[in-house]
Amino acid sequence: MTFPKSLLPFLVLSLLNLIAAATDIAMLGFITKPLLMPALGLYFYQSTQKTPLNKFIFAALFFSFLGDTLLMFTDYSSNFFLAGLVAFLIAHIVYIIMNINFVNDQESKMKLQWQDAIFFLVGLLIFSIIKNDLGEMYIPTIVYTTVICIMGLSARKRWKKTEMKDFWWVMGGAVLFMVSDSILAINKFTFPFPQAGFLVMLTYLTGQYMLVEGFRQFIQKLKV
């Protein structure tokens, strides 16, 4: 399987970060984690034509980078966790905007359908598992859970509004991002378990790559 050379830094850094998460090599994780989203941004920049839409990708990756970095310092203060949560919240809002607008027609509204209930049911399930252990994070977690469910729902709304290949890239990425956040929340608040950090990063990195790749493919098909 071949892949663009510009993707190599992200792949190498992701592999090193996953090794760090699996083997508890804290220093390796500390070094690689802040570099992950910039490396993914570099791939996008070098492999995508320049359009006004590109700034949304860079915004989502910037706030994800900020979230990654802030969450590295949660052992020093719980405020870092809240700040990281806000950064990822903004990243999800950017992805929602992209999901609504990166389509092949003029429809830029989300009309709710019965199938959309699954995203909120999943969110409700995860919240019901962790809600008794949230403490002062109760309200922020409600807000974050709602936004990430809307992010997943908005990805599904691209169905038949864009080509199927980039739809599935984005849809898969959104689902994996939701899975990653769910694992992180359960591990942090309710039920810590071995290799949670590895699973969080594996689903997160794969999800972020799929989102960027799906939008990159959409942008590449535009006539500018």
Question: pLDDT tens across 131-156, in order?
Answer: 998 888 999 999 999 999 999 999 99
Measured between alpha carbons, how far is residue 43 from residues 6, 61, 150 in Å? Answer: 5, 12, 27
Residue 57, Cβ neighbours under 10 Å: how many? 23
Supply 54's token pair: 């590109």
Residue 51, Cβ neighbours under 10 Å: how many? 12
Measured between alpha carbons, how far is residue 212 from residues 19, 85, 144, 189, 205 in Å? Answer: 23, 20, 21, 29, 11
Yes or no: say if 104 and 162 are a contact pair by the CB < 8 Å rule. yes
Helix H segments across the chain?
Answer: 8-23, 26-32, 36-47, 54-71, 78-101, 117-130, 138-156, 164-185, 196-220
CA dihedral 133, 120, 198, 135 (to 10 degrees): -20
- pLDDT over 90 percentage in the chain: 77
The CA distance from 74 to 62, in Å, is 19
User: Could you tell me the pTM of the whole model?
Assistant: 0.93
Please tell me the predicted confidence (pLDDT) of residue 59: 98
The CA distance from 181 to 149, in Å, is 11
Identity (one letter) of the amino acid at 114?
Answer: W
Q: pLDDT tier at 202 (50, 70, 90 boundaries)? A: very high
Question: pLDDT tens across 61-118, in order?
Answer: 999 999 999 999 988 888 999 999 999 999 999 999 999 988 887 665 667 677 788 8
At 20, phi and psi to the nearest 5?
-60, -45
DSSP 62: H
Mean pLDDT of the chain: 92
Half-sphere CA count of 107, side-chain side, radius 13 A: 13
In angstroms, how far is the first alpha carbon of the chain from the final one?
A: 30
Question: pLDDT tens across 32-47, in order?
Answer: 999 999 999 999 999 9
Q: Mean per-residue pLDDT for 179-195? A: 92
Q: Which of 53, 46, 43 is nearest to 104 (CA)?
A: 53
The alpha carbon of 89 is separated from its chain's Cα centroid by a whole number of angstroms, namely: 10
